Chain A
């Protein structure tokens, strides 16, 4: 079945550092790919998405590119802030499907 594997955390960085959280997937056909963020005590919020190969999703300085050749959707940000501290989930929906399949989540802590 479909699955998502993401970089294990926790990840701790200093403010203004470069961030990469790796995400790879296994799916048939052409899934849609997502990054969700969960701030402490809150529900998940959609951060960005990409629905076809080579699409780049971006939001709040975060970017991820749908790479079908490497089945990856790595999350990047050039300069992180303390407010980016949260848990980040990579997820996919299968082609034509609505059910979300999540990775295990990566806890990110940014120190001032």
Chain B
């Protein structure tokens, strides 16, 4: 149980375009979802936390107008990278938790974004 999927697994886009990444909880309802960014050979950096039906809470230094997060249902959250630039190239990972407060997070397999 507790499976989280991400789509696409890899995406290449041109500079200036937008790209959407989906995160789905397949067998549980995810009240809270998290989006992380992982740079090569580095740790995961939390970008934002989203609760279903509410606006996402962004970490300091993360541009909310550039990284749009939507958590419209209990099984789906999307991250849209707007006007992508090469420096946005990274590995984006989502996680989902079945409640607010202390619940274990289940991680998706990640999406490799390359901006050319």
> Chain A interface (Cβ within 8 Å of chain B)?
32, 36, 41-46, 89, 93, 96-100, 102-105, 107
Contact = CB atoms under 8 A, between A and B. Distances in A.
Nearest to B44: A102
Contacts of A36: 107
Given A43-B107, A43-B108, A44-B93, A104 B43 contact: yes
B44 A89 contact: yes
A43 B42 contact: no
Interface of B: 4, 6, 32, 34, 41-44, 46, 49, 93, 95, 97, 100-105, 107-110
24 contacts: A32-B102, A36-B107, A41-B109, A42-B110, A43-B4, A43-B108, A43-B109, A44-B44, A44-B93, A44-B95, A45-B107, A46-B104, A89-B43, A98-B32, A98-B97, A98-B100, A98-B102, A100-B44, A100-B46, A100-B95, A103-B43, A104-B42, A104-B43, A105-B41
A109 B104 CA distance: 28
A107 B93 CA distance: 18
Closest 5 A-B residue pairs measured CB to CB?
A: A43-B109, A43-B107, A44-B107, A102-B43, A104-B43
A24 B89 CA distance: 30
Nearest to A87: B41
Contacts of B42: 104-105
